[in-house]
Chains A and B, each alone.
Chain A
Amino acid sequence: EDQVTQSPEALRLQEGESSSLNCSYTVSGLRGLFWYRQDPGKGPEFLFTLYSAGEEKEKERLKATLTKKESFLHITAPKPEDSATYLCAAEDNNNDMRFGAGTRLTVKP
């Protein structure tokens, strides 16, 4: 069965302290790996799609990378406004999308 596991569940950083969030996936034929940001009381907001191992995408202080078994969301010099829950999701060859439970990131000033 397809599975997506995110770690850690929660992460507290000081402003400027870089770190990485992990997303491990087990799917039958990966079509795409997605990252979303979710603020409290709101719906997830799409950030990136990665299609193949070795691919990287960047947006401001965020960089997403992909290997054959996992994806990382690297956050460089985070600011308090980066505080949110970050979700990853994997779509398989049957067009089934599986979401992880998310990592709740808090960045303290």
Chain B
Amino acid sequence: NAGVTQTPKFQVLKTGQSMTLQCAQDMNHNSMYWYRQDPGMGLRLIYYSASEGTTDKGEVPNGYNVSRLNKREFSLRLESAAPSQTSVYFCASSPEGIYGYTFGSGTRLTVV
């Protein structure tokens, strides 16, 4: 099925460890996004990429880096994980224009 694929689905890290969350879409969308979702709060934008080769900071970028590897793939890296980064992370994509996003199924990350 066409859509957004995220890996891994679950991850436990120790404070200070690094990891990369992977995201790929097969809908030929230009824009891709990384969000985090915490209880009682709305989805908050970490980074986005309006097109291949460009990336921009969102509302909560500190502690994260991203790479738009090609049109399909957009990865999120935590260089030195902290307990405050415990969250559920969602990748999303959208075509140009005012359209709803297609979200992946999420990565549940726990930092101990």
List chain A positions with a Cβ less than 8 A from chain B.
4, 31-32, 34, 36, 41-49, 51, 87, 89, 91, 97-102
List chain B positions with a Cβ less than 8 A from chain A.
4, 35, 40-45, 90, 92, 98-106
Contacts across chains A and B counted by CB atoms under 8 Å = 49
**Cβ-defined contact, A49 with B105, below 8 A:** no
Q: Interface majority SS on B: helix, strand, loop or mixed?
A: loop
Partner of B43, one of A41, A49, A87, A91: A87
CA of A36 to CA of B94, assembled, Å: 14
Contacts of A34 in B (CB 8 A): 100-101
**Cβ-defined contact, A49 with B100, below 8 A:** yes
Partner of A43, one of B42, B99, B106: B106
CA of A36 to CA of B43, assembled, Å: 12
Q: How far is the CB of A102 from chain B (nearest CB, A)?
A: 7
Contacts of B90 in A (CB 8 A): 43-44
Contacts of B40 in A (CB 8 A): 101
Contacts of B92 in A (CB 8 A): 43
**Cβ-defined contact, B100 with A98, below 8 A:** no
